[in-house]
Amino acid sequence: MSALTILPSLLLMATSFTRIIIVLSILRQALGTAQTPPNQVLIGVALVASMLVMQPTYEKLRQEAISPFIAGQMAGDLALSRGLQVVKTFMLANTKEADVIAFADLVGAKNYAKVADIPMSIAAPAFVVSEMRTGFEMGFMLFIPFLVIDLVIASILMSLGMMMVSPMLVSLPFKLLLFVSVDGWAMTIGSLVQSYGK
């Protein structure tokens, strides 16, 4: 039961979930569809995409730590240490070096000789900050086409003298048409999954 209470924190701190849910939330905002798709659907999509991204890491974790521990071939502390090393390798492979340096400076740590020497107390916050930054960068790139549509529709309505008509109301069908016609959900999820190093 104690382990279950920290699972949400592990999901946010050590997987690709944070970046994916940020991008999907910004995408929904850019589309201007308010609560469509609902939060539960976005979280479900983010969980499935996170499972795709984390599959190689989970397989390595199972082979190097979980299976030997269950088979009684490895002590618990060694299995935990190896498991954390596997997760930390994934995290640092997807963390910007500047974020690692920033958190190392915060705790007064010196330069590390190799990646394996970086403690989890620095790797975890650096990974989360890096994920948030990358998520906002990707969200910004997704936002631009929809912003252009909003501006064009607003300009057209203004030139026609239709000041009382909401540009958001008119631009929504065009944004949805554009997004559906380019198979936006598949492209977005595919780009998110491919944005991670193996």
* Closest alpha carbon to 135 in 51, 45, 195: 195
Domain regions of the chain by residue span: 2-194
pLDDT at 3: 59
Alpha carbon 39 to chain centroid, angstroms: 15
pLDDT at 197: 65
pLDDT at 198: 55
pLDDT at 23: 92
Greatest Cα-to-Cα distance within the chain, rounded to the nearest angstrom:
77
Amino acid identity, position 162: M
DSSP 62-129: IIIIIHHHHTTSS-HHHHHHHHHHHHHHHHHHTS-HHHHHHHHHHTT----SSGGGS-HHHHHHHHHH
Distances (CA, A) of 25 to 31, 36, 95: 10, 10, 21
pLDDT in tens, 85-132: 888 888 888 888 888 888 888 877 777 777 777 888 888 888 999 999
End-to-end CA distance of the chain: 32
pLDDT tens, residue order, the chain (198 aa): 565 677 677 777 888 899 999 999 999 988 888 788 888 999 999 999 999 998 898 898 888 887 888 887 878 778 888 888 888 888 888 888 888 888 888 877 777 777 777 888 888 888 999 999 999 999 999 899 888 888 888 888 888 877 777 777 788 888 888 888 888 888 888 888 888 865
pLDDT at 130: 92
**Angle ∠(123,79,73) on CA atoms, nearest 5:** 160
Distances (CA, A) of 6 to 67, 88, 116, 155: 22, 17, 24, 50
